[in-house]
Structure 1
Amino acid sequence: MCAQTANDLQQRSQEQERRAQEALQQRQKTIPAPDVRLQKDGVEPEVRWLATESPCFPIQELALSIETLPQWSWLLSHADGHATLANPDPVEGRCIGAQGVQIVIDRLQNALIARGFVTSRILAAPQNLQTGRLTLQVLPGRIQEVRWAQGSGQRGSLWNTVPMSAGDVLNLRDIEQALENFKRVPTSEADIDIQPAQEPGFSDVVIRHAQTLPFRLSASMDDSGTRSTGKLQGNATLSYDNWWTLSDLFYITVQSELGAKEPGPRGTDGRTVHYSVPWGYNLLSVTLSQNSYHQNVAGANADVLYSGSSANSEVKLSRIIQRDAAGKTTVSLKGFQRRSNNYIDDQEVEVQRRVVGGLEWGLGHRRAIDRAMFEANLTYRAGTGAWGALPAPEEGFGEGTSRMRLWMLDANVQWPFEAAQQSWTWHSAWKAQHNKTPLTPQDRFSIGGRFTVRGFDGLSVLTAERGWLWRNELSLAAAQGTQVYAGIDHGHVAGASAQNLVGQNLTGLVLGWRGPYKRMQFELFAGRPLRKPERFKTATETAGFSLSVSY
């Protein structure tokens, strides 16, 4: 029975990893992450150098009028034209005339537009340039009113969704953020116009917003489980969009095994509830989930029923601290609690009871580079002993702790391109983990399976305290919006427990086909190991599928 319990612990860790990956994918499908980047009006800035003029005035100092400081002091660094010229072309120490003054004004105006201040202007008031000082003034373009367009706004709120108000300096970054807040609701449509106001130097921000039926229903099925608790897994999700007219999202997901399992009582089920709401550049989300499993195991004298349950709770607050025309940076703080209990014939195995509470700090960046999109997230997880946390059973042996300390990094790039008159996409993803304390199985890094290193059946994995994996995929656009793809993945694990493994590296190959069909999304794939430890048990070939439908 003890041997079975040890094997059962490893299986539960793998099941929890599978559940976590499925929950992440479900969240990404249910909660879109819109990326709004508004193009500025006009053509690219003209490349112009300061030239010799007559008459001209020697300029020793460039300054902004006192009314415009300190908010606009950053503009002075753009007077040399370094943003568009091969080499800086400073105005200080030069003799310039009317044309030179206009070139400097244009450079600062282009810098304003690049920062999103599309209605602000640079002016040169009458002045005596014989003093050697050129003083420029910023005329901020302000907002007179933020309002709904006629017939709009019945299912929307301005106070939390739009991060600007009357009197603010108009900036495209604020408008982009407002559109992202509106468009995070899949059943909503939104557009924003900038219209001249009655008062000079002011504009009205006019918002058109409409929402269809706020309910969405989706269901999915795949074969990511195991025969011990059910190879076929399914879930159904009901979403209520814009519940409180705050661009908020709510959904509930029910999960269950659908068959293809060994004989006897066995199975899995789970439930997830999520709610999130934006507030300007902030986003607050709450996620609660419960999962359970049971399986019948033949014992020496009688069958034994192994079962377990887990519950995860998290509250996360994130904020966009920087955004420009091509990217944005986000910081986040998450509080979490994880509970798990295991039973043998309905009697709890108390030494396996776990309660972990802690915090996660995150830093993320997303950037468009030409046609490519790059995204990276750095996370630090720390168990704090809060929220009823218990010491981990492994703490007595120095093999784990409920007060874990670990770093995690995720990075990926997606690059669409044209070659041989075909549309291709290269996608590369890198994931790594580094521990600062011993880790329990639930926090360790695992490789081998469809969610990590593809080409392996996932029945056996390599797990240790730290590691990394690299997934590479090349896809080709096929008929009716589908894609065929090929990928090579590699992963490595390390740490104190890695010395007990049969090896530390896995490399796998995958071929697949995915895409839409009517209301459905499908994926079919097959793969095989390319490199593995000699005693690592896995199928020589593996295949799988996933199918989802949405209404």
Structure 2
Amino acid sequence: MARRRRRQQSQRTLPAGGALYLYDLTTLNDILYLSGGGDIEFNQHNDGNHNGSLYYSIPFGYWTLSAYGAYSQYRQQFNGNWSTMDYKSKNRYYSATLSRLLSHTRQQKTTADLRIAKSTSHYYFGGSELLVMRKQNPSWEFTLNHQHYFNKKIVDASIGIQRSLPWLSSTATPEEQAGLYSPLSRIVHGNLQAMMKFDATGDKFIWAPRLSAQFSPDKLASDNKFNIGSRWSVRGFDGENSLSGNQGWYWRNDFIWDLATHERQFYLGADIGRLIGADLYQKGKVLSGAVSGLRGQLWSTQYDLFISTPLSKPDKFHSDALNMGFSLQWRY
């Protein structure tokens, strides 16, 4: 479960969830994963939020076939002088992936993934669907992944290309009808991350950088745009707003100290992200933020306590000056 404080009135959230992993159900080294969650603190602002996912994979030789499906629903009530109106969003995502192990030694591992996926989003206000906001995003994606092991260092890298699949669309969305994005859009994305221990600190200090980037020559649908300003990209912000564009990058840095006590770490983080494109001058391009926290494990519970703050942002980009939160994960 996780909890965090936010700026807007009565938007404190207390989500909780659970997950079930089942291994080797068919004695073929297959994996089944089920998860579900939702708000356990209900009020007029976050009543009805829930999500779930299902994953299954089965290997055969150097190949692995997997399928994944997920849904989420968000509901918010707006109280007026004479009535109460509901705003609701429903999101679905489905994918099938075929993976191939290309090379594997004691020092490295290389794989290739081919994925076909489709996501849909529907929005409702007062019980009626907002048709102009309907979205769907079918695509295929090919990605090369490489992991290399050095002495006290691990480096992960990936590069991939994504293309739209118009024939998987049921109907043209309002975005497509208005010409706001290309139905044959192309995206190139890459990630590079590492974990490095240093002998001078007695293996107690770890530097964990991560660089992520996306490039595209086409107009992209809103679901495919590159976003910065969340806990999963540039930290330090409350998550209420983000910057998005067709192209961009972010660089995260974690400086981690292993404490003397068992399975406990103190960390500092400094992140920066930038959107690329001449059409973004009026919106702002750069976000940077900092975070510090304590994470570890106590018995069967993993915890993460953190506090973060923005370092730089556009003048019209609103975010709390200080954001605090924690997350708990219990396993048995």
TM superposition score normalised by structure 2: 0.92
In structure 2, the residue corresponding to 1:267 is in which secondary structure?
coil
2:258 is aligned with 1:477: yes
Aligned twin of 1:295:
76
- Which of 88, 91, 107 is the matching residue for 1:310? 91
When the two chains are superposed, the root-mean-square deviation of aligned CA atoms in Å is 2.2
The one-letter amino acid of 1:483's match is Q
Aligned twin of 2:125:
344
Q: Distance in 1 between matches of 2:304 and 2:117?
A: 33
Task: Quote how far apart the aligned CAs of 1:350 are.
Answer: 2.0
The runs of 4+ residues in structure 1 deviating greater than 4 Å are: 224-230
Task: Quote how far apart the aligned CAs of 1:351 are.
Answer: 2.4
More helix by percentage: 1
Is the contact between residue 249 and residue 275 of structure 1 (CA under 8 Å) also seen in structure 2? yes
Cα deviations across residues 127-176 of structure 1 (Å, max 9, x unaligned)? xxxxxxxxxxxxxxxxxxxxxxxxxxxxxxxxxxxxxxxxxxxxxxxxxx
Aligned twin of 1:498:
280
2:12 is aligned with 1:235: no
Aligned twin of 2:100:
319
Cα deviations across residues 212-266 of structure 1 (Å, max 9, x unaligned)? xxxxxxxx3343999777622221112221111111110111120222x763563
2:30 is aligned with 1:253: no
Is the contact between residue 432 and residue 467 of structure 1 (CA under 8 Å) also seen in structure 2? yes
The one-letter amino acid of 2:62's match is Y
Q: Distance in 2 between matches of 1:497 and 1:262?
A: 40
Q: Distance in 2 between matches of 1:245 and 1:224?
A: 45
- Which of 176, 185, 188 is the matching residue for 1:407? 188
2:56 is aligned with 1:278: no
Q: Distance in 1 between matches of 2:5 and 2:97?
A: 28
The one-letter amino acid of 2:39's match is E
Aligned twin of 1:449:
230
Is the contact between residue 137 and residue 223 of structure 2 (CA under 8 Å) also seen in structure 1? no
Is the contact between residue 391 and residue 402 of structure 1 (CA under 8 Å) also seen in structure 2? no
Cα deviations across residues 97-131 of structure 1 (Å, max 9, x unaligned)? xxxxxxxxxxxxxxxxxxxxxxxxxxxxxxxxxxx
2:245 is aligned with 1:464: yes
TM superposition score normalised by structure 1: 0.57
Q: Distance in 2 between matches of 1:334 and 1:443?
A: 15
Structure 2: give runs of 5+ residues left out of the alignment. none
Q: Distance in 2 between matches of 1:485 and 1:334?
A: 35
Cα distance change on mapping 1:238 and 1:225 into 2, 3 Å: farther
Cα distance change on mapping 1:312 and 1:422 into 2, 3 Å: closer
Q: How many equivalent pairs are there?
A: 330
Is the contact between residue 58 and residue 64 of structure 2 (CA under 8 Å) also seen in structure 1? yes
2:205 is aligned with 1:424: yes
Is the contact between residue 24 and residue 31 of structure 2 (CA under 8 Å) also seen in structure 1? yes
Cα distance change on mapping 1:442 and 1:300 into 2, 3 Å: farther
More strand by percentage: 2
Cα distance change on mapping 1:390 and 1:499 into 2, 3 Å: farther
Cα distance change on mapping 1:313 and 1:496 into 2, 3 Å: farther
The one-letter amino acid of 1:423's match is K
Is the contact between residue 229 and residue 294 of structure 1 (CA under 8 Å) also seen in structure 2? no
Cα distance change on mapping 1:383 and 1:224 into 2, 3 Å: farther
2:321 is aligned with 1:540: yes
The one-letter amino acid of 2:34's match is I
Cα deviations across residues 432-489 of structure 1 (Å, max 9, x unaligned)? 1112321122111111121111111111211111110000111111111111011110
Query: Identity rate of aligned residues, in percent?
Result: 27
Q: Distance in 2 between matches of 1:386 and 1:419?
A: 57
- 1:364-383, aligned counterparts within 5 Å? 364-383=145-164
The one-letter amino acid of 2:213's match is A
Q: Distance in 2 between matches of 1:427 and 1:263?
A: 40
Structure with greater Cα Rg: 1
Q: Distance in 2 between matches of 1:362 and 1:225?
A: 36
2:174 is aligned with 1:393: yes
The one-letter amino acid of 1:494's match is I
Is the contact between residue 444 and residue 463 of structure 1 (CA under 8 Å) also seen in structure 2? yes
Q: Distance in 2 between matches of 1:461 and 1:411?
A: 22
Aligned twin of 1:182:
none
